[in-house]
Structure 1
């Protein structure tokens, strides 16, 4: 067995661990949503995550200060907004469906690159976009297109913003350390959370009971359960991203990006194990198409790199 094979296998294990971890923790957002609000969740999680990150940075000697502050702020705002929408949707939709919407981001990266930056799109990538769009239609179902549920289209909006953040990572933040971008990401979420809490304190809304009030709920006196699962989220996010970063360090990015889509079935498996939540056949078929579209884009990018070498 060659060293490259060993490193690829190791990366596969790291990404599978990442997917299993994030799929598990995100399934408990509904527990948090039943008691507290989206904004308090993000503010609290950021405080916990930054505390943990600061300890790790001191121990490992990490440098968190950005090279280009403006670029990091812009990228953090895009990814932060995407994650706020993502977690908001988790209160209303199954984790696997929300993840499927977020993972349309490679498709939007392709479209934005073409129409905003003028990059050429070949027939393979055009086919991938078409395939992914069909997958989105199957996953979301007719209710999103009939206007019956605004929540049903939120994961796609998260995917668009996440794609913009990914483009910003390549265009503006190539010199930044991964831990710097991670810190900026959490700080953006925390700031958005504080702004949301302040706005709802000044202009309170009528709040439905339970998870239905996740978006409208301001600050509350939360129980130990809220703080426990929020800490699990903070620790799980830091560890999961750390595993993903390490995977990208020890194997080719094209392989790692394809493997990353394992989070879709991982989320579905955890939803079934924890909540007994099953997907419909059309939703499963849609997720398969989304995974296929993202894989085509990643593999095509690798082929282009090899040809140019």
Structure 2
């Protein structure tokens, strides 16, 4: 268990690090966000293609695969725009509306069973997001983009669970990369920057950092049950705060930190309840 937790913590550090590189590209160097989005998927597709191309061939005729690709393409486009306009930690905090959206859609669309305690915890997590975003008060355009990205990702998680038993994992992984490359391709034309060594390295790190994080997370899930590792997903918020401070000199205010703490507490409690449910059922 200790090894799986360590791998999970490393994974949850790589993902914000890749996003920090995206923020440097868009907010400091002035690279078009659509370039960052397209290269992120394109590089990921090139890395995955040798390992998953056979599984990917069989699934492209399923319209749901294209729908899933469009959702993740829109979500990453929105969060990349958010990174350009708002602090890293604040964006991650607003983005964590995703688990709540996924929870609601899973109950409504997938007919998953839930309990009153879990529903209350999800509402508390949403309150935490509101403490970060503060609609009608200090809301910035960047946090608005982050909320849209979070909603897209929540829908993406639900659709992924819908397809998980019907489409091979390799096919899902590959189409998750190639689909957005095709869908965003027309928009990246004319938005390629004049390439420098700095842009090249940051582009590579933005893509590979995120991919390493997701691959390590899969390794951790193979070692331990997902429900036991789920609370450590929220380590991304802590990593985002540290990276925002070290790289950009941004520190969240007290209300934002309180909102993040509430999100972590509520999300971890939901994961704990889910991990105990099979035991209760057997009893």
- Is the TM-score greater than 0.5? yes
Report the counterpart of residue 263 of structure 2 in structure 1: 290
Deviations 1:114-168 (A, max 9, x none): 3445555422122112211210111113xx3248633222222212111111111
Q: Partner of 1:15 in structure 2?
A: 8
Cα separation, 1, equivalents of 2:146 and 2:58: 31
Q: 1:66 to 1:159 in 2, by over 3 A?
A: farther
Q: 1:196 offset after TM fit, Å?
A: 1.9
What's the counterpart of residue 150 of structure 1? 141
Report the alpha carbon displacement of residue 236 of structure 1 after superposing the two structures with TM.
1.4
Cα distance change of structure 1 residues 63 and 255 upon mapping to structure 2, 3 Å threshold = farther
Of residues 175-184 and 245-254 in structure 1, the stretch that sits farther from structure 2 once superposed is 175-184
Q: Which residue of 1 aligns with 2:42?
A: 47
Match in the other structure for 2:242: 269
**Taking structure 1 as reference, are residues 303 and 67 closer, same or farther at Cα in structure 2, changes over 3 Å only?**
farther
How is 1:216-235 mapped onto 2 (pairs within 5 angstroms)? Answer: 218-235=191-208
CA distance in 2, matches of 1:148, 1:25: 25
Q: Secondary structure, in 3 states, of the residue corresponding to 1:65?
A: helix
Query: CA separation in 2, counterparts of 1:305 and 1:123?
Result: 17
The Cα RMSD (Å) is 2.3
Helix, strand or coil at the partner of 1:99: helix
Deviation, 1:68, is: 3.7
| Aligned residue in 2 for 1:259 | 232
* Structure-2 change in CA distance of 1:151 and 1:54 (3 Å): same
Name the CA distance, whole Å, in 2 between partners of 1:68 and 1:170. 16
Alpha carbons of structure 1 residues 135 and 52: separation in structure 2 relative to 1, 3 Å = same
- Give the superposition deviation at 1:243: 0.2
Structure 1 residues 219 and 63 mapped into 2: Cα distance closer, same or farther (>3 Å)?
A: same
Summarize the Cα distance change of 1:168–1:304 in structure 2 as closer, same or farther, 3 Å threshold: same
The structure-2 alpha-carbon separation of the partners of 1:49 and 1:117, relative to structure 1 and needing over 3 Å to count, comes to closer
2:165 corresponds to which residue? 174
Check conservation: 2:82, 2:141, Cα contact below 8 A: no
Question: 2: distance between equivalents of 1:148 and 1:104?
Answer: 15
Once the two structures are superposed, the pairs formed by residues 106-255 of structure 1 within 5 Å of their partners are 106-117=99-110, 119-141=112-134, 144-146=135-137, 149-198=140-189, 218-255=191-228
Cα 1:252–1:107 shift into 2, 3 Å: same
With the length of structure 1 as denominator, give the TM-score of the two structures.
0.81
Q: Distance in 1 between matches of 2:80 and 2:100?
A: 21
1:38 is the counterpart of 2:11: no
Number of residue pairs the alignment of both structures matches: 278
CA deviations 1:12-47 (Å, max 9, x no partner) are: 111111112122221122221133211122222333
Is the alpha carbon distance of 1:167 and 1:9 closer, same or farther for their aligned partners in structure 2, counting shifts above 3 Å?
same
Preserved CA contact (<8 Å) 1:41 1:193: no
Distance 2:175 2:110 in 1: 25
| Conservation of the 8 A alpha-carbon contact between 1:35 and 1:226 | no
Q: Give the whole-Å Cα distance in 2 for the aligned partners of 1:234 and 1:148.
A: 29
